[in-house]
Structures are given as structure tokens and as C-alpha cells.
């Protein structure tokens, strides 16, 4: 009898998954948060303290803070909520000042929790998304993926051509060089003028700080698009709606977390569609 064949690397990958990623997929938090839990010694794998980089497979016993965690190895589509955040709500579960949280009133999630995709400042309104998938939240939020965020900005005053060029080329903020990808005038009345701009990083108060650097005050800031998802016109302040499974799947494809669906004709030839459609939610 010949020697048993060794499993190919891709087979081993399919049989196991990185622990912090599996915990994030289970809805316990973002992948970074799960790495921090592991580093703090609050996660065990088969009775031993877990380490960042450990892999987990079906049948392994994983505990977080001493409590057994059930990892679902059956692939399930994540849930995604679209929310029109009004001013005066904080994107945090705990606030010492007792301000209203965007997480208040969200529908319950069995065996997991809602994770915000990016953040919005207390005084900023507009599109905010939540998901039950830490991996999806990471793909849409982490700066290295450079997902576009589009804003409508109202300022007191008018930008000169030189100021618009400066925003496009980049200005030096306290945390490094920052710039906008595009910026166009959006009209206005009197001293209040609107602009539409796109950024890719989403640093803390980035848009406001860019204008403050130029000596201008932002009087209103609204996020109108995040990646391929635009704010639906029907969604008024404080309203939310859940994406359909079809649109969530399209979002996963857009992020590279799922393969595009195959057409009936291409299925026989083993070819995939070249261009998956964007999520329909929010095209308004």
C-alpha cells in the first residue's frame, strides 16, 4: 500500500479557519477585537490558552471568558441593516455621558450582535450600516481596502479653486496627510454652500478637520454613500431597513468575500459572470 497522500495547503485551509476570524464571523465582534481578546488571555482553545494565529476546526472547543462558544460551520449569509443616523446619536454601546446610542432599538440577533460598519460623529448624520459579520465589517471599514465614503457638506463660505486643489492634493493634519478623492460644488444660498466629496480613509472627524485646516466651518455633514451602497431617498432620519439576502450576497461579491454567481449558459462551461451587480438597496 502506498503512503497516504498529504492534504494540499488549500485543503487544510478549507478544513480550518483562523480563530479570531471564526469568532468574528460568529458575531462576537470585529476581527481586531477578537485578536485583542486572544492577546488578553480571555480565549481558550481545547482547554489551552489561545494564541493569535491559532486555527480552529469543527469539533474544537472554544471558550471566551470561560463560556463555551458555538461556532457555526454551516455557511450562513450575514445580515446587514441600513440606518439613516440623525445628529445627536453616538456610535458606541457605552457612553459615560449617557447620550443616545445608534445600537438602541436594533433588532435582536440570535447568537451574535450587530457590528457597525465604520462610524459617524455625534454631530454627523447619514448612512450607517450594521452587520452580523465581523469579516464583512472589516472588509468595508479597514483603511487598507480604501472603500469610498461620499458626503454632502455644507460650509459657511465658498471654497476657492486653490482650496479645492489643496484638498485634492492633500493637507497635513495632526495624524498625517489627508485628502479627498473628488470634490464638486453642490449649490446653496447666501453664505451657506454645499459640496459633494469622496474620501477613502474615514479617520476620526476627517472631513470636518480638512475644512477646519482651511479656516472654514462645516455647518452640516451628511454621509450619502458607503462603497456601493447609497442612502435610499425613502429612508428618513431615524429610519432603518434590512438588506435582502440577494443584496447582501451582491455586497459580499463586491467585497471579494463571495464568488460571483454563474449564469445558466456559463455554468456548463465553468465560467463566472464577469461583472456582478451592485446591491440594489440604497440606489435611490
Residue numbers annotated as active site: 121
Torsional class of 203: left (φ above 0), alpha (ψ -120 to 50), beta (otherwise): beta
**90: Cβ–Cβ under 8 A, 6 or more apart, which residues?**
99, 100, 101, 102, 122
**209: Cβ–Cβ under 8 A, 6 or more apart, which residues?**
173, 178, 203
CB atoms within 10 A of CB 15: 11
CB atoms within 10 A of CB 97: 6
CB atoms within 10 A of CB 144: 8
| Length in residues, the chain | 284
What grid cell was written down for 173? 493634519
- CA distance linking residue 117 with residue 133, whole number of Å: 10
- Residue showing cell 448612512: 127
What grid cell was written down for 27? 458575531
Cβ contact 120:85 at 8 Å = yes
Amino acid at each position: 500500500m502506498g503512503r497516504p497522500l498529504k492534504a494540499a495547503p488549500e485543503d487544510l485551509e478549507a478544513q480550518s479557519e483562523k480563530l479570531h476570524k471564526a469568532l468574528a464571523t460568529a458575531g462576537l465582534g470585529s476581527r481586531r477585537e477578537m485578536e485583542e481578546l486572544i492577546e488578553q488571555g480571555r480565549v481558550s482553545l481545547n482547554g489551552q490558552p489561545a494564541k493569535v494565529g491559532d486555527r480552529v476546526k469543527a469539533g474544537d472547543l472554544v471558550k471566551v471568558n470561560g463560556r463555551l462558544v458555538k461556532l457555526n460551520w454551516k455557511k450562513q449569509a450575514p445580515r446587514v441593516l441600513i440606518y439613516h443616523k440623525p445628529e445627536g446619536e453616538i456610535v458606541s454601546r457605552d457612553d459615560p455621558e449617557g447620550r443616545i446610542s445608534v445600537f438602541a432599538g436594533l433588532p435582536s440577533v440570535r447568537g451574535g450582535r450587530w457590528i457597525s460598519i465604520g462610524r459617524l460623529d455625534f454631530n454627523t448624520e447619514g448612512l450607517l450600516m450594521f452587520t452580523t459579520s465581523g469579516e464583512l465589517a472589516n472588509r468595508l471599514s479597514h483603511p487598507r481596502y480604501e472603500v469610498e465614503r461620499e458626503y454632502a457638506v455644507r460650509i459657511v463660505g465658498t471654497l476657492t479653486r486653490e482650496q479645492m486643489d489643496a484638498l485634492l492634493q492633500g493637507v497635513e493634519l495632526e495624524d498625517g496627510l489627508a485628502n479627498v478623492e473628488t470634490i464638486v460644488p453642490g449649490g446653496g444660498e447666501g453664505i451657506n454652500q454645499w459640496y459633494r466629496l469622496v474620501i477613502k480613509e474615514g479617520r476620526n472627524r476627517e472631513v470636518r478637520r480638512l475644512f477646519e485646516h482651511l479656516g472654514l466651518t462645516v455647518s452640516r455633514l451628511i454621509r450619502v454613500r458607503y462603497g456601493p451602497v447609497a442612502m435610499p431617498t425613502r429612508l428618513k432620519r431615524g429610519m432603518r431597513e434590512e438588506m435582502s439576502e440577494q443584496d447582501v450576497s451582491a455586497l459580499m461579491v463586491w467585497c471579494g468575500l463571495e464568488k460571483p454567481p454563474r449564469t445558466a449558459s456559463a455554468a456548463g462551461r465553468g465560467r463566472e459572470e464577469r461583472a456582478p451587480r451592485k446591491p440594489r438597496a440604497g440606489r435611490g
